[in-house]
Amino acid sequence: MSSPMEVVERDPGELKAQVDIEAGKEVEIVSEENGGVEEPQPSSDLTEDKIQVAVEVCLKPTSTAGIHEVRFAVERMLEKRCLSYANGPIPVPADDILLVENVERICICEIDELVDNQDVLLFWQVKPVVHVFQLSEEGPCEELSADGQPSSFNEWILPAKEFDGMWESLIYDVGLKQRLLRYAASALLFTEKGVDPLLVSWNRIILLHGPPGTGKTSLCKALAQKLSIRFSSRYPQSQLIEVNAHSLFSKWFSESGKLVAKLFQKIHEMVEEENNLVFVLIDEVESLAAARKAALSGSEPSDSIRVVNALLTQMDKLKNSPNVIILTTSNITAAIDIAFVDRADIKAYIGPPTLEARYEILRSSLQELIRRGIISNCTDDDHKILPSYISLKDKLAQGVDDTETVELCKQLLGAAEACEGLSGRSLRKLPFLAHAALPHPQSCTPLKFLCAMINTAQRERSELPD
């Protein structure tokens, strides 16, 4: 589970203890003066075993600095300082003019999925891999067809401002997001190294399926955004083409053949440029199967089957292009065309959020409301950083259950329990609905707010269809 944490900076001579601020755990690091006792020391043997940690550097929209120049400055800054690494932002050093003028934020990403060391890595264990990027503010570019009708796809230049922070906001069981990232890394590596597809076959197609509102479309967009940042040295330009399969097959049925041809002509043009990384997102892919079935039953024009087949053939053709990843989603797993399912390398089921995920989703929403001052009476600084699910469980197991924060988190856990069966989409709306239901929203303590959230969750659940 991704959890935002703070980076703790220490002078090497003073390394005594690092505090995992969020979890409230003490991680002991023995200092250099602490003679005799086991001391973690950088050793040359370790350089081989260093853990690669992604450090993402977002440039200001106004920045005109070169990517290499900024990357070099950040690498130097990381070398110079003795940082321990944990997920979250690192302050931009005030004495580095280049960074101050050009960098919006520096962030360490996804350590908790890699490490067993209380989610914190010591600076000498780490090989930071710095990715510098600037967000595109252009927004989606919707292509119009010759007759002025909107076409069935949107195009985005990545990384896009609209998708900033989306990856971090999506919360799933540990491993899912990493699995997708690693899959894409392997797929791009195999292609790059020219692995013979007759000997090892891979299609660069991902299928996410599961109930509505579980974040499948958002996860595809967020994955494309992440990959565009992580692979920017190899592919300096990235685009996302978002296709709604349903509209492709139903809007102007007789036009569908032309729409598919136009769509793929566009994609082929993009992939011809070998420095482009192209993501094609096909939403509601089950409509392929629906179109084929309707054609067979005679209720749709018979050429619909030709359109479906054309789409599958075009997708096969894209197999030869190393720089395309096809991301697809479906709400109805059983209805997906078997010919399509077979082509997907990763078929990941995205289910409703587990208790831990529900707790983390509500925790991040609650923290945002506290940060923005919507939930008041929060003078205790501890309240600003609520413990994660894992550290709450640890605290409860150790019998630490008497502090105000733990009390609040127990209530939060109660709210997460009350939300069983709700989708991620409903959970993200819940704090808003709870706030709107408060009789006196001006003087709302976190505990009162959580009570309102439990009531709202119960009401929402009672309104779910059986």
The smaller minimum CB distance to ligand ATP, of residues 324 and 419, is found at 419
Binding to ligand ATP by residue 424, rule CB under 6 A?
yes
Please tell me whether residue 329 binds ligand ATP under the rule CB under 6 A: yes
User: By C-beta, is 387 or 424 nearer to ligand ATP?
Assistant: 424
Closer CB to ligand ATP, residue 61 or residue 175? Answer: 175
Q: Which of 68, 182, 425, 459 binds ligand ATP (CB under 6 A)?
A: 425
63, 276, 331, 455: which one binds ligand ATP (CB under 6 A): 331
Binding of residue 171 to ligand ATP (CB under 6 A): yes
Which of 365, 353, 350, 356 lies closest to 220 in space, CA to CA?
A: 350
Q: What are phi and psi of 139, to 5 degrees?
A: 80, 180
Minimum separation from the CB atom of position 313 to ligand ATP (A):
27
Closer CB to ligand ATP, residue 145 or residue 331?
A: 331
Q: Which is nearer to ligand ATP, 134 or 329 (CB)?
A: 329
Nearer CB in complex with ligand ATP: 55/430: 430
Does residue 353 interact with ligand ATP by CB under 6 A? Answer: yes
Instruction: Tell me the per-residue interface mask from 205 to 244 with ligand ATP, x by CB under 6 A, - otherwise.
Output: -------xxxxxxx--------------------------
Nearer to ligand ATP, 130 or 208 (CB): 208
Q: Is 247 one of the binding residues for ligand ATP (CB under 6 A)?
A: no
Among 135, 361, 375, 406, binds ligand ATP (CB under 6 A): 361
Return the closest-CA partner of residue 245 out of 184, 195, 288.
288
Per rule CB under 6 A, count of chain residues that contact ligand ATP:
19
Q: Of 67 and 361, which has the nearer Cβ to ligand ATP? A: 361
Q: Which residue is nearest to ligand ATP (CB)?
A: 424
In the complex, least distance from residue 261 CB atom to ligand ATP, rounded to whole angstroms: 26
- Residue 3 found at the interface with ligand ATP (CB under 6 A): no
Find the shortest distance in angstroms from Cβ 218 to ligand ATP: 3
CB of 129 to ligand ATP, least distance (A): 26
Q: Are 113 and 128 in contact (CB under 8 A)?
A: no
Nearer of residues 170 and 453 to ligand ATP, judged by Cβ: 170
47-55, 184-192, 316-324, 420-428 -> range binding ligand ATP (CB under 6 A) = 420-428
Angle at 149 between CA 148 and CA 153, to 5 degrees: 120
Task: For the segment 88-147, give every residue that binds ligand ATP (CB under 6 A).
Answer: none
Contact 240, 224 (CB under 8 A): yes
Residue 258 within binding range of ligand ATP, rule CB under 6 A:
no
SS (H, E, C) the chain: CCCCCCCCECCHHHCCEEEECCCCEEEECCCCCCCCCCCCCCCCCHHHHCEEEEEEEEECCCCCCCHHHHHHHHHHHHHHCCECECCEEECCCCCCHHHHHHEEEEEEECCCCCCCCCCCECHHHEEEEEEEECCECCCCEEEECCCCCEEEEEEEEECEHHHCCHHHHCCCCCCHHHHHHHHHHHHHHHHHCCCCCCCCCCCCEEEEECCCCCCHHHHHHHHHHHHHHHCCCCCCEEEEEEEEHHHHHHCCHHHHHHHHHHHHHHHHHHHHCCCEEEEEEEECCHHHHHHHHHHHHCCCCCHHHHHHHHHHHHHHHHCCCCCEEEEEEECCHHHCCHHHHHHCCEEEECCCCCHHHHHHHHHHHHHHHHHCCCCCCCCCHHHHCCCCHHHHHHHHHCCCCCCHHHHHHHHHHHHHHHCCCCCHHHHHHHHHHHHHCCCCHHHCCHHHHHHHHHHHHHHHHHCCCC
CB of 302 to ligand ATP, least distance (A): 29
Q: In whole angstroms, what is the distance from residue 68 CA to residue 370 CA?
A: 38
Residue 213 vs 446, nearer CB to ligand ATP: 213
Which is closer to ligand ATP, CB of 222 or CB of 271?
A: 222
**Residue 366 beta carbon to ligand ATP: minimum distance, rounded to whole angstroms:** 14
Stretch of 50-58, 170-178, 182-190, 369-377 lying at the interface with ligand ATP (CB under 6 A):
170-178
Taking the complex as a whole, how short is the minimal distance between the CB of residue 170 and ligand ATP, in angstroms? 4
Q: Which residues bind ligand ATP (CB under 6 A)?
A: 169-172, 212-218, 329, 331, 353, 357, 361, 424-425, 428
